[in-house]
Amino acid sequence: MRRVLACAAVITLAVAAPAAAGLPRAGTLVPGRSLGGVRLGEPEPQLRAALGAFFGVCRDCARTTWYFTYRPFDSRGLGVELTKGRVSAVYTVWQPSGWSGPHGLVLGQPASLVDARLGNLLPVACAGYSALVEDTPAARTAYYVVNGRLWGFGLLRAKASPCR
Protein backbone atom coordinates (compact mmCIF):
# COMPACT_ATOMS: atom_id res chain seq x y z
CA MET A 1 0.00 0.00 0.00
CA ARG A 2 2.85 2.41 0.81
CA ARG A 3 4.38 1.80 -2.62
CA VAL A 4 1.04 2.62 -4.30
CA LEU A 5 0.72 5.85 -2.28
CA ALA A 6 4.34 6.79 -3.01
CA CYS A 7 3.81 6.20 -6.75
CA ALA A 8 0.60 8.21 -6.67
CA ALA A 9 2.41 11.08 -4.95
CA VAL A 10 5.22 11.06 -7.55
CA ILE A 11 2.71 11.01 -10.41
CA THR A 12 0.73 13.86 -8.81
CA LEU A 13 3.88 15.97 -8.43
CA ALA A 14 4.98 15.21 -11.99
CA VAL A 15 1.61 16.29 -13.36
CA ALA A 16 1.29 19.33 -11.06
CA ALA A 17 4.77 20.74 -11.76
CA PRO A 18 4.16 21.62 -15.42
CA ALA A 19 0.72 23.00 -14.55
CA ALA A 20 2.36 25.42 -12.09
CA ALA A 21 4.47 26.94 -14.86
CA GLY A 22 2.79 29.73 -16.73
CA LEU A 23 2.17 33.44 -16.92
CA PRO A 24 0.84 34.79 -13.62
CA ARG A 25 -2.74 36.09 -13.74
CA ALA A 26 -1.78 39.07 -11.61
CA GLY A 27 1.91 39.81 -12.08
CA THR A 28 3.82 42.22 -9.89
CA LEU A 29 6.63 44.66 -10.64
CA VAL A 30 9.34 44.84 -8.00
CA PRO A 31 11.42 47.82 -9.22
CA GLY A 32 15.01 46.91 -10.05
CA ARG A 33 14.38 43.24 -9.19
CA SER A 34 11.62 41.38 -11.05
CA LEU A 35 8.49 41.54 -13.18
CA GLY A 36 5.96 38.73 -13.00
CA GLY A 37 8.56 36.73 -11.09
CA VAL A 38 11.13 37.01 -13.91
CA ARG A 39 14.53 38.47 -12.97
CA LEU A 40 17.21 40.05 -15.10
CA GLY A 41 20.08 37.63 -15.73
CA GLU A 42 17.84 34.62 -15.17
CA PRO A 43 18.99 31.70 -17.36
CA GLU A 44 16.71 30.36 -20.09
CA PRO A 45 15.98 27.01 -18.35
CA GLN A 46 14.83 28.82 -15.20
CA LEU A 47 12.62 31.11 -17.33
CA ARG A 48 11.02 28.08 -19.01
CA ALA A 49 10.48 26.43 -15.63
CA ALA A 50 8.68 29.54 -14.35
CA LEU A 51 6.62 30.52 -17.41
CA GLY A 52 6.39 27.29 -19.37
CA ALA A 53 7.42 26.15 -22.82
CA PHE A 54 4.53 27.68 -24.74
CA PHE A 55 5.55 31.06 -26.10
CA GLY A 56 5.72 32.96 -29.36
CA VAL A 57 9.04 33.97 -30.89
CA CYS A 58 9.52 37.38 -32.47
CA ARG A 59 10.88 36.99 -35.99
CA ASP A 60 11.72 40.65 -36.62
CA CYS A 61 13.22 41.63 -33.27
CA ALA A 62 16.85 42.69 -32.93
CA ARG A 63 17.23 40.46 -29.84
CA THR A 64 15.84 37.00 -29.17
CA THR A 65 12.36 37.82 -27.83
CA TRP A 66 9.77 35.44 -26.48
CA TYR A 67 6.13 36.35 -25.87
CA PHE A 68 4.24 34.56 -23.12
CA THR A 69 0.49 35.08 -23.36
CA TYR A 70 -2.58 33.70 -21.64
CA ARG A 71 -3.88 31.95 -24.75
CA PRO A 72 -2.44 31.30 -28.21
CA PHE A 73 -2.59 34.43 -30.37
CA ASP A 74 -3.65 36.59 -27.40
CA SER A 75 -1.89 39.95 -27.50
CA ARG A 76 -1.69 40.50 -23.71
CA GLY A 77 1.11 39.06 -21.65
CA LEU A 78 4.82 39.34 -21.08
CA GLY A 79 7.72 39.92 -23.47
CA VAL A 80 11.13 38.57 -22.50
CA GLU A 81 14.36 39.42 -24.30
CA LEU A 82 17.31 37.06 -24.05
CA THR A 83 20.99 37.78 -24.58
CA LYS A 84 23.40 34.83 -24.52
CA GLY A 85 20.70 32.63 -22.98
CA ARG A 86 19.86 35.01 -20.12
CA VAL A 87 17.03 37.48 -19.53
CA SER A 88 18.17 40.96 -20.56
CA ALA A 89 14.72 42.65 -20.52
CA VAL A 90 11.19 41.81 -19.46
CA TYR A 91 8.06 43.91 -20.03
CA THR A 92 4.30 43.68 -20.12
CA VAL A 93 2.63 43.56 -23.54
CA TRP A 94 -0.75 45.16 -24.27
CA GLN A 95 -1.68 46.04 -20.69
CA PRO A 96 -2.53 42.67 -19.11
CA SER A 97 -5.26 43.12 -16.49
CA GLY A 98 -4.50 42.59 -12.83
CA TRP A 99 -0.81 43.54 -12.99
CA SER A 100 0.47 45.91 -10.32
CA GLY A 101 3.53 47.81 -9.24
CA PRO A 102 4.83 49.50 -6.12
CA HIS A 103 2.73 51.82 -3.95
CA GLY A 104 -0.57 50.47 -5.29
CA LEU A 105 0.07 51.27 -8.95
CA VAL A 106 -2.18 49.29 -11.28
CA LEU A 107 -2.10 49.23 -15.07
CA GLY A 108 -4.71 51.57 -16.52
CA GLN A 109 -4.43 54.23 -13.82
CA PRO A 110 -3.66 57.88 -14.73
CA ALA A 111 0.06 58.36 -15.36
CA SER A 112 0.08 61.27 -12.91
CA LEU A 113 -0.13 58.70 -10.10
CA VAL A 114 3.24 57.25 -11.12
CA ASP A 115 5.11 60.50 -10.42
CA ALA A 116 2.94 61.28 -7.39
CA ARG A 117 3.70 57.93 -5.77
CA LEU A 118 7.26 57.30 -6.94
CA GLY A 119 8.75 60.77 -7.09
CA ASN A 120 10.77 62.34 -9.86
CA LEU A 121 11.27 59.82 -12.69
CA LEU A 122 13.16 60.43 -15.93
CA PRO A 123 10.77 60.82 -18.90
CA VAL A 124 11.83 59.15 -22.16
CA ALA A 125 9.93 59.72 -25.42
CA CYS A 126 9.40 56.62 -27.57
CA ALA A 127 7.48 56.25 -30.86
CA GLY A 128 3.77 56.43 -29.91
CA TYR A 129 4.28 56.23 -26.14
CA SER A 130 6.56 57.40 -23.37
CA ALA A 131 8.37 55.80 -20.48
CA LEU A 132 9.03 57.09 -17.00
CA VAL A 133 12.22 55.43 -15.82
CA GLU A 134 13.91 54.82 -12.51
CA ASP A 135 17.56 53.78 -12.51
CA THR A 136 19.65 51.74 -10.13
CA PRO A 137 23.24 50.66 -10.78
CA ALA A 138 22.03 47.21 -11.91
CA ALA A 139 18.69 47.85 -13.61
CA ARG A 140 16.31 50.30 -15.20
CA THR A 141 12.63 50.12 -14.30
CA ALA A 142 10.19 51.55 -16.84
CA TYR A 143 6.61 52.67 -16.40
CA TYR A 144 5.08 52.86 -19.88
CA VAL A 145 2.50 55.55 -20.60
CA VAL A 146 0.01 55.72 -23.48
CA ASN A 147 -2.59 58.51 -23.76
CA GLY A 148 -1.93 59.69 -20.22
CA ARG A 149 -2.47 56.26 -18.65
CA LEU A 150 -0.11 53.68 -17.15
CA TRP A 151 0.02 51.11 -19.93
CA GLY A 152 2.78 48.74 -18.87
CA PHE A 153 5.85 47.91 -16.82
CA GLY A 154 9.37 47.03 -17.89
CA LEU A 155 12.61 45.90 -16.32
CA LEU A 156 15.78 46.35 -18.33
CA ARG A 157 19.52 46.28 -17.93
CA ALA A 158 21.01 49.46 -16.52
CA LYS A 159 21.01 52.37 -18.99
CA ALA A 160 19.17 50.34 -21.69
CA SER A 161 16.66 52.18 -23.83
CA PRO A 162 13.11 51.59 -22.58
CA CYS A 163 11.77 52.00 -26.12
CA ARG A 164 10.98 48.53 -27.49
- pLDDT, averaged across the chain: 87
Show the domains of the chain with their CATH numbers: 22-157 (3.40.33.10)
Neighbours of 14 (CB within 10 A): 9
* DSSP percent split of the chain into helix, strand, coil, nearest 5: 25, 40, 40
| Residue 59 CB burial class (10 angstroms; 0-12, 13-18, ≥19) | exposed
How confident is residue 138, by pLDDT bands cut at 50, 70 and 90? very high
| Residue 73 CB burial class (10 angstroms; 0-12, 13-18, ≥19) | exposed
For 56-93, what is each residue's pLDDT tens digit? 999 999 999 999 998 888 889 999 999 999 999 999 99
Query: Looking at this protein, which amino acid is placed at residue 115?
Result: D
This prediction's pTM: 0.84
Identify the helix (H) or strand (E) that includes residue 69: strand 64-69
